[in-house]
Structure 1
Amino acid sequence: MLISALVLALAGTGLGTWAADTWPWPKERYCWGAWEEDSGPGFLGDEAFGEDDDGARTSEETAPTRQRPTGSCELTIAGDYKSRHDGDEVSIRQQVSVTYGPVPKAAEDRLAMVQDGFLGGDMVPLPDGLPGTVNGGGGLLVLPKSCDTPDGRPTVVTMDASGTYASGPSYSQNDPADLGGAQQAAVLLVAAANRGMAAAGCEPDEPLRVSSPVYDLPGNPEDIYGASEDVCGIRGLSLGTEDITDQTGAVTRDLQTCSVRGDGVPYLQLAMVAQPRLVAVFDGIAGERPVARGWRGTGSLGEDHAIVRADCAGRPTTFLMGASTDPDHLAAFANAAAARLGCAPIAPEGAAR
C-alpha cells in the first residue's frame, strides 16, 4: 500500500516517469561541462559502443583557471566484446581530445601545431566569421584578444578525434570517434571554448556561437599519376613527381589551403592565411628579413616549414609551407594566391621555375 501510494504521489508531481524506464537520472557532462551525455554526435551516445553493451565512457580533464590559463580534456570510449557476426574478439578505443592554451613560443613548434594539424586541404573555415578551421575530425579556434598572454601570444582551443578498431588477432584500422561531421564539430569546439574562457576569466560579453552552416567544403582528394603540373589547381605548381594525391581545401579571401600526399605520407602542405585573428597566431615568428633576394615581406625557410609574411590587398597575410623544403613550391603558391587577392607578387619573377 505504501509503495503504491508513493508511485501515485510521484506520478502526480511529474516525477513518476521512472515507471516507464525513463527515470531522469542526471546526465554526465564532459569537457568542463560543455558537452552532455546523449546529446548531439554519436560519441556522446550509446551508439559509440557498437555491439558492446558493456562499453565505458570515461573522461580526464583539467580546466583552465585565471592563474593558470591552460587546460585539457580527453573523453575516452572503450569496449571489448565478441562479434555477433563471426565470433572474433573486437576491441574499440576512441578518444576526443581538447586543449586550451596559448600557441607555443618556438616558431617550429607553433608551425607544427597549427599548420600541420589544422591548415590542411581537408579543413574548412569556421562559420560566422569565427577565426579558425574545422573538419569532421576536429578543429582549431583562436580566442578573442582578451585571452592573449602577457607577451601577446593568442590562446587557442583545439579538438581532435582519434581511435582504433581491432578485430581478431591481425586486423586493425583507424576508427576515430564520431563527431557528427564538420558542422557538429564546429558546435562542439565553440562550446568547449566558451566554457574554457569562462573558467579562465577572459570570456567576451556575449558567448561565441555557431549559427550558420559550414561552407567552402574541400574538394575530394585527386590522384595524379603523371608528371604533376598545376597541383591543387595552382598554375605553375609542379612537383615533378608521379603517384601523388592532392586536395584543394578552402579558397576564400581569408584562407586558402592545399595538401599533397605521396605513398600515404605528407608531401607538401601550403596555406595562405589573411583572417586577422588567425594571422595573429603567426605573429613574431616570420623574422625581420625577406625569405630570399627579391621576395616581398619577411620570412624564413626551416628544415620542415617555411613562412612568409607580407602585406596583400591592405592586410597582413601569411604564406606557409610544410613537408617540402623547395622554395619554388612556396613561390608558385604565394604568387598565385596573391594574384587571386589582387596584390603584388610575393616572390620575384622566375623564382618558381
Structure 2
Amino acid sequence: MSGTDEATAAPGRLRRALPRSRRGRLLLVGALVLVLAGTGLGTWAADTWPWPKDRYCWGAWEQDSGPDFLGDEAFGDDEDGTRTGTETAPTRERPAGRCEVAIAGDYTSSYDGDSVSIGQQVSVEFGPVPKAVQARLAMVHDGFLGGDMAPLPDGLPGMVNGRGGLLVLPESCDTRDGRPTVVTLQASGTYSSGPSYTQDDPADLGGARQAAELLVAAANRGMAAAGCAPDEPLRVSSPVYDLPGEPERVFRTSDDVCGIRGLRLDVEDVADRTGAFTADLQTCSVRGDSNGVPYLELAMVAKPRLAAVFDGIAGERPAARGWRGTGTIGEKHAIVRADCAGRPVTFLMGASSDPGHLAVFANAAAARLGCAPIAPEGAAR
C-alpha cells in the first residue's frame, strides 16, 4: 500500500476500532476525561484553564489583564453582564480606525431592591487631526488639554488622566498634507438606579498610569496595522508625573485665577484647576462649581510633537494689533503661535471670547519661559 493509500485508509481503521456498544462509548468518554484531567487538572485548579481569553482593540487588550473594565469587576452584582467589542482596524490604504469595548448589565440591588442598569464604554480613535480649524481646536484643546490632564510619561507627546488621553504618533504616520495622526482613548458610561436616578459612571481604566498603558498598547497595534510603526514600539515605563490637584473652589470673583496674577474672571461660585506646569506645557481650567459648565480653558504647548497638532491653523497675521506671532481670536476658541526662547510656542483659549484672558495667560507663560511678552501692554486688562 502506498503512503497515499495509508493516509486515506487511516480514518477507516480508526472508525473500525471505535467501540460499537453504548458501554464502549461511555468507557471511551470516561478515558478521555481522565486523560484531560491528568494533563490539565493542575492548570484548572489554578484558575488558568487554557480557554482562550477575549482580546479587544485590534488585539491590544486582553480579558482580565488589569483594569476593571476588562474583568468581572465591571459587572458589579450582575452575574449575567455582558462585555462586547467592536472594531474597525486602520489599514495602509485607509489609516484610520476605531474600537470600542461596551459593558452592559441589569440587576436588582441587594441594598434597596431597586432595578440597576449599567452601561459603559471605552473607545479608541486612530486617525489624523481634522483639517478644519475649529474642529481641530475642539477635538484637541477642549478634549485633552484641560486642567485635569497630566503629560504622558517617558517623553511621549500627549496627555492622560483616569478617563482617557491623547497620543501624537511619530512623523511616519503623518498624512500626505502634513497633519499628524493621533490616538485618543475615552471612557464613558452611566449608572441608573430606580425610575429616576442616573449619574455619570465612566468605565474604570485603573488610573492615569494604566490609562497611559492602554493608550500606548492600542497605538502600537494601530500603527502596525496602518504600516507606519517605528522600529521600536512605544513604551510606558515611568509613573505619570505632574498629576493635577483637586479643583479649587472660588466663591467670589478672583484676580488670580489658576494662580496667574491679574487673570480675572467676573463670575462667582467656580472651581479653577491648574494642570501641567512645565516648560513644555501649562494648562488651566475654570468651570462652574455646581454644574461643571466651562468658563475658561487655557493652554500653553511648547513640546514640539504635541504642538504639531496645531500646525497650519494659526493663520498668517497677528491675532490683534501689537501681538507677536500669528493667530486668531474667535467666539469659541483662540490660538496664537509665536517664537519664545528659540522655539515655536502655541497659546490656546477656549470657552471665553475675552482676548484679555489670553493676553494675561500668554504673557505670564512667556515671562516664565524667559521670552518677550506675546500681547502688547494694555491688552491684558
- TM-score exceeds 0.5: yes
Asked whether 1:147 is paired with 2:173, we answer: yes
Q: Superposition pairs for residues 317-332 of structure 1, below 5 Å?
A: 317-332=345-360
- Which residue in 2 is equivalent to 1:119? 145
User: What is the letter of the counterpart of residue 377 of structure 2?
Assistant: E
- Which residue in 2 is equivalent to 1:334? 362
Between Structure 1 and Structure 2, how many residues are aligned?
A: 353
Cα distance in 2 for partners of 1:273, 1:290 equals 18
Report the alpha carbon displacement of residue 12 of structure 1 after superposing the two structures with TM. Answer: 4.9
User: What is the letter of the counterpart of residue 268 of structure 1?
Assistant: L
Q: Superposition pairs for residues 183-202 of structure 1, below 5 Å?
A: 183-202=209-228
Asked whether 1:264 is paired with 2:305, we answer: no
What is the identity percentage for the equivalent residue pairs of Structure 1 and Structure 2? 81
User: What is the letter of the counterpart of residue 268 of structure 2?
Assistant: E
Q: Secondary structure at the match of 1:87?
A: coil
Cα distance in 2 for partners of 1:201, 1:109 equals 26
Q: Does the Cα contact within 8 Å between 1:335 and 1:345 map onto a contact in 2?
A: yes
Q: Which residue, 142, 156, 162 being the options, matches 1:136? A: 162
Q: TM-score, normalised by structure 1?
A: 0.97
Cα distance in 2 for partners of 1:341, 1:73 equals 39
Asked whether 1:300 is paired with 2:324, we answer: no
Q: Which residue, 188, 213, 223 being the options, matches 2:239? A: 213
- Which residue in 1 is equivalent to 2:309? 281
Cα distance in 2 for partners of 1:6, 1:22 equals 20
Q: Which residue, 351, 363, 371 being the options, matches 1:343? A: 371
Q: Which residue, 175, 178, 202 being the options, matches 1:176? A: 202
Can you list the C-alpha shifts for 1:209-240, whole angstroms capped at 9, x where unaligned? 00000000112101111221110001110112
User: What is the letter of the counterpart of residue 335 of structure 1?
Assistant: N
User: What is the letter of the counterpart of residue 343 of structure 2?
Assistant: R
- Which residue in 2 is equivalent to 1:314? 342
Asked whether 1:31 is paired with 2:37, we answer: no
Asked whether 1:253 is paired with 2:275, we answer: no
Cα distance in 2 for partners of 1:20, 1:127 equals 35
Report the alpha carbon displacement of residue 145 of structure 1 after superposing the two structures with TM. Answer: 0.2
Report the alpha carbon displacement of residue 40 of structure 1 after superposing the two structures with TM. Answer: 1.1
Cα distance in 2 for partners of 1:350, 1:233 equals 20
Q: Which residue, 90, 93, 112 being the options, matches 1:86? A: 112
Which blocks of at least 5 consecutive residues in structure 2 are unaligned? 1-26
Cα distance in 1 for partners of 2:187, 2:325 equals 37
Cα distance in 1 for partners of 2:214, 2:46 equals 31
Asked whether 1:101 is paired with 2:127, we answer: yes
User: What is the letter of the counterpart of residue 252 of structure 1?
Assistant: T
Asked whether 1:158 is paired with 2:184, we answer: yes
Q: Secondary structure at the match of 1:193?
A: helix
User: What is the letter of the counterpart of residue 52 of structure 1?
Assistant: D
Q: Secondary structure at the match of 1:272?
A: strand
Q: Secondary structure at the match of 1:281?
A: helix
Q: CA RMSD in A?
A: 1.3
Report the alpha carbon displacement of residue 150 of structure 1 after superposing the two structures with TM. Answer: 0.1
Report the alpha carbon displacement of residue 265 of structure 1 after superposing the two structures with TM. Answer: 0.3
Cα distance in 1 for partners of 2:207, 2:253 equals 34
